[in-house]
Amino acid sequence: MLPEARERAALLTDVHTEVHLDLTSPEDFGVEATISFACTQPGASSFLELNGGTDVTLDGQPAPYADGRIALTDLGATNTVRVTARMPYVHDGDGMTEVVDPADGERYVCAHTSMDITQKVIPCFDQPDIKSTFTVSVTAPSHWTVIANGRLASREGDTWSFERTPPFSSYLFTLVGGPWVSVTWDERYAPAPGGTLPFGWHARASQEPELRRDADELRRITSACFQHYTTVFEPEYPYADFQQVFAPGLNWGAMEFPGCVVYRDEALKKGTPTELEREWVASTIAHEMAHMWFGDLVTMTWWEDSWLNESFADFMGYDVAGTAAGYTDAWTSAAITRKPAGYRADRRRSTHPIAEDTEKIVDVDTAFANFDMITYAKGNASLAQLGHWLGEEDFLAGVNTHLTAHAFGNADLAAFLDSLDAATDKDVRGWAQAWLRSTGFDTLRVTRDTSVDGPGVPVLTREGSRPHRLTVSAYDSSMRLVDSRDVHLGDEPVRLEEFAGRVVVPNSGDETFAVIRPDDESWAAITAGLSAVESQLTRAMLWWTAVDLTESQVIAVADLVALADQHLRPETHPVVFEGVMRALQLVTRRYAAPDEVAGHLAVIADIARGAVEGGDPLLAPGASRVLARLSADADFLVDWLAQDDVDQSVRWAAVHRLAELGDSAHIDVEAARDQSVSGHHAALRARAAVPTAEAKAETWARLMGGELGNHEFDAVGEGFWGWEQADLLRPYLSRYVIDGLALARRSGQGMGDVIGDAFPQLPLTAEARLELRTAVAAALEGDVPTVLARSWNDSLDDLDRTL
Nearer residue to Zn ion within complex by CB, 118 or 747:
118
Question: What three-state secondary structure class fits 198?
Answer: strand
Please report how close the Cβ of residue 768 comes to Zn ion at its closest, in angstroms: 37
Burial of 143 (0-12, 13-18, 19+ CB in 10 A): exposed
Q: Which residues from 727-766 bind Zn ion, rule CB under 5 A?
A: none
Q: What is the DSSP string of 291-346?
A: HTTBTTTBEESSGGGHHHHHHHHHHHHHHHHHHTTS-TTHHHHIIIIIHHHHHHHH
How far apart (Å, rounded) are the C-alpha atoms in residues 758 and 699? 13
How far apart (Å, rounded) are the C-alpha atoms in residues 606 and 600? 10
Nearer residue to Zn ion within complex by CB, 113 or 550:
113
CA distances from 733 to 588, 692, 695 (A): 19, 16, 16
Nearer residue to Zn ion within complex by CB, 309 or 385:
309
CA distances from 238 to 173, 197, 292 (A): 15, 11, 7
Q: Which residues from 118-157 bind Zn ion, rule CB under 5 A?
A: none
Q: What is the DSSP string of 647-673?
A: -HHHHHHHHHHHHHTT--THHHHHHHH
Contact 741, 779 (CB under 8 A): yes
How many residues form the binding site for Zn ion (CB under 5 A)? 2
Question: What three-state secondary structure class fits 754?
Answer: helix
Q: CB neighbours (10 Å) of residue 760? A: 21
Nearer residue to Zn ion within complex by CB, 144 or 318:
318
Cβ neighbors of 629 (< 8 A, separation 6 or more) are 653, 654, 656, 657
Burial of 216 (0-12, 13-18, 19+ CB in 10 A): exposed
Please report how close the Cβ of residue 230 comes to Zn ion at its closest, in angstroms: 19
From the centroid of its chain, how far is CA 258?
18
- Size of the chain in residues: 803
CA atoms within 13 A on the CB side of 720: 28
Please report how close the Cβ of residue 477 comes to Zn ion at its closest, in angstroms: 44
Dihedral over Cα of 253, 258, 261, 262: its sign: negative
Q: Kindly write out the interface string for residues 44-83 of this chain, putting x where it contacts Zn ion by CB under 5 A and - elsewhere.
A: ----------------------------------------
Pick from 586, 588, 584: which is nearest to 597 by CA? 588
Q: Kindly write out the interface string for residues 263-302 of this chain, putting x where it contacts Zn ion by CB under 5 A and - elsewhere.
A: ----------------------------------------
CA atoms within 13 A on the CB side of 18: 7
Please report how close the Cβ of residue 232 comes to Zn ion at its closest, in angstroms: 18
DSSP annotation of 408 reads T
From the centroid of its chain, how far is CA 245?
17
How far apart (Å, rounded) are the C-alpha atoms in residues 778 and 784? 11
Question: What three-state secondary structure class fits 475?
Answer: strand
Nearer residue to Zn ion within complex by CB, 369 or 768:
369
Please report how close the Cβ of residue 117 comes to Zn ion at its closest, in angstroms: 16
How far apart (Å, rounded) are the C-alpha atoms in residues 290 and 295? 8
Terminal CA-to-CA distance of the chain, rounded, Å? Answer: 38
Nearer residue to Zn ion within complex by CB, 284 or 461:
284
Please report how close the Cβ of residue 291 comes to Zn ion at its closest, in angstroms: 6
Cβ burial 253-282 (10 Å sphere, 16+ → b, else e)? ebbbbbbbbbbbbbbbbbbbbbbbbbbbbb
Please report how close the Cβ of residue 383 comes to Zn ion at its closest, in angstroms: 13
Please report how close the Cβ of residue 317 comes to Zn ion at its closest, in angstroms: 8
Nearer residue to Zn ion within complex by CB, 313 or 361:
313
The CB-nearest residue to Zn ion is 313
Nearer residue to Zn ion within complex by CB, 314 or 551:
314
How far apart (Å, rounded) are the C-alpha atoms in residues 60 and 76? 19
How far apart (Å, rounded) are the C-alpha atoms in residues 175 and 178? 11
Pick from 167, 416, 468, 442: which is nearest to 312 by CA? 416
Known catalytic residue: 288?
yes
Element (H, E) at 264: strand 260-264
Please report how close the Cβ of residue 371 comes to Zn ion at its closest, in angstroms: 8
Nearer residue to Zn ion within complex by CB, 296 or 712:
296
Nearer residue to Zn ion within complex by CB, 126 or 310:
310
262 scored as a contact of Zn ion (CB under 5 A): no
How far apart (Å, rounded) are the C-alpha atoms in residues 334 and 163? 39
Dihedral over Cα of 506, 509, 514, 517: its sign: positive
Nearer residue to Zn ion within complex by CB, 246 or 543:
246
Nearer residue to Zn ion within complex by CB, 292 or 313:
313
Please report how close the Cβ of residue 345 comes to Zn ion at its closest, in angstroms: 16
Neighbouring-strand partners of residue 154 = 161
Please report how close the Cβ of residue 261 comes to Zn ion at its closest, in angstroms: 10
Please report how close the Cβ of residue 239 comes to Zn ion at its closest, in angstroms: 17
Nearer residue to Zn ion within complex by CB, 313 or 762:
313
Q: Which residues from 302-361 bind Zn ion, rule CB under 5 A?
A: 310, 313
Please report how close the Cβ of residue 710 comes to Zn ion at its closest, in angstroms: 19
Q: What is the DSSP string of 559-618?
A: HHHHHHHHHTTT---HHHHHHHHHHHHHHHHHH--HHHHHHHHHHHHHHHHHHHHHT-TT
Q: Which residues from 680-699 bind Zn ion, rule CB under 5 A?
A: none
* Residue from 106, 288, 670, 712 carrying the catalytic annotation: 288
Binding site for Zn ion (CB under 5 A): 310, 313
Residues annotated as catalytic are: 288
